[in-house]
Amino acid sequence: MPRGGIEETEWFSFLEVVQGVQLQQVQDRLGWSLDSFDSFSVSSVRYALDSRLVPSGDRGTRWNNWFPIKLNILVWRIQLSNIPTRERLSIRGVMVPSIMCPICMAAAETIDHIFAGCRDIWDSWGGLAIWWGVFLPSHISVQSLINWLDGVNLRRGQRKAFDAVIITSFWCLWNFRNMSAFGTVLPKKSVIF
């Protein structure tokens, strides 16, 4: 016969467990299992959340305070491959009219294609190199463009300015892509540079 909604076999198992428990006389206290000291702190919560929720990688993030934070965040998201390209949206199951690049219509729209592989935006990186009197990286990829600053010989103030120009270029290319994908009039490539 059930006792309070519990079957008799479950009831006896419950009784065995309860009878095996030995209580001790200690003062009640709160414990915090996320910290080795067993005490609560905001930093232990922050560490626990960061270690579980924030993606980690082997690449460091370079922040430049000479321009709005949204530009830094865009480049950070590009490094994490976390921007909504047509290819990524299609993989996630979002209906897109085509996964082809809205700028050149010659290849799938991937992060590497938008910023480093699209033949229609290549001139912008070349123009940037000529403007600054530096050489393009030998192999053009998103990562090589982000790290382009590491391979140029510029003074300290110039290095920060060149980094700002690179990151601003990523922003301009992303905006050009968005105008090409969502605008009513196809923008001119000269707008990029």
From residue 77, give the alpha-carbon distance in Å to each of 10, 40, 83, 165, 170. Answer: 53, 32, 6, 18, 11
Closest CA to 173 of 131, 129, 111: 111
**Residue 181: pLDDT over 70:** yes
User: Contact at 8 Å (CB) between 103 and 121?
Assistant: yes
Predicted local distance difference test score (pLDDT) of residue 3: 54
Report the mean per-residue pLDDT for the chain.
81
Across 129-135, average pLDDT: 88
Whole-number Å distance between alpha carbons of 115 and 13: 64
**Residue 155: pLDDT over 70:** yes
Provide the pLDDT confidence category of residue 113 given band limits of 50, 70 and 90: very high
Predicted local distance difference test score (pLDDT) of residue 57: 58
Predicted local distance difference test score (pLDDT) of residue 159: 87
Query: What does the pLDDT look like over 41-83, one tens digit per residue?
Result: 787 777 777 777 666 655 566 777 788 889 888 998 998 888 9
**Residue 17: pLDDT over 90:** no
Predicted local distance difference test score (pLDDT) of residue 22: 76
3-state secondary structure of 70: helix
Residue with more model confidence, 169 or 42:
169
Closest CA to 192 of 127, 139, 134: 127
Token code pair at residue 64: 């430049």
Closest CA to 72 of 190, 133, 163: 163
First to last CA, the chain: 82
Place of tokens 């892509």: 177
Predicted local distance difference test score (pLDDT) of residue 110: 93
